[in-house]
């Protein structure tokens, strides 16, 4: 790390350019911009008693593999080990989505399905 600081010092004060190769490819900025994110697309159920709603989940960022857990009083708790899940035949209600990546970062979101009519 001392070598890197010295090279940065030279670069700043002499206007020179340089290339530094990090050991084992472990660049300290490699993880920036990789925040765990969840894209959600919803189709609401048609009526309060119908089970025709859908929730489409896509995980990005973080570090794969991902675990997606769906918790609701309307369906049994389900765990998926993938980055895309489409839940079908859902009724109105709240669905808690918990996503965890390989580095144990967690994202939680509550999705509410409301009947169209």
The per-residue pLDDT of the chain, averaged, comes to: 80
Task: Copy the structure tokens of residue 97.
Answer: 């989505």
pTM exceeding 0.75: no
Six token digits for residue 70: 């769906």
Residue 78 has a pLDDT of 87
pLDDT at 25: 44
In this model, does residue 54 exceed pLDDT 90?
Answer: yes
Question: Which neighbouring-strand residues pair with 55?
Answer: 42, 87
Q: Which residue has the higher pLDDT, 113 or 19?
A: 113
25-53 residue pLDDT tens: 444 444 444 799 999 999 999 999 999 99
Q: Give per-residue pLDDT as tens, 62-92.
A: 999 999 999 998 788 889 999 999 999 999 9
Q: Give the pLDDT score at 34.
A: 72
| Cα–Cα distance list, 31 to 5, 62, 88, 103, 107 (Å) | 21, 8, 34, 11, 17
Domains and CATH numbers, the chain: 34-113 (2.60.40.2410)
Give tens-digit pLDDT for 5-30. Answer: 444 444 444 444 444 444 544 444 44
pLDDT of residue 97: 96
């Amino acid at each position: 790390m001392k070598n890197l600081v010295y090279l940065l010092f030279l670069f700043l004060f002499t206007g020179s350019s340089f290339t530094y190769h990090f050991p084992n490819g472990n660049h300290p900025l490699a993880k920036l911009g990789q925040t765990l994110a969840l894209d959600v697309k919803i189709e609401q159920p048609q009526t309060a008693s119908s089970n025709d709603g859908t929730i489409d989940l896509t995980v990005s960022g973080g570090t794969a593999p991902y675990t997606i857990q769906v918790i609701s009083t309307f369906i049994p708790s389900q765990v998926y080990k993938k980055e895309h899940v489409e839940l079908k035949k859902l009724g109105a209600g709240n669905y808690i989505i918990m996503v965890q990546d390989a580095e144990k970062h967690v994202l939680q979101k509550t999705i509410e399905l409301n009947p169209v009519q």
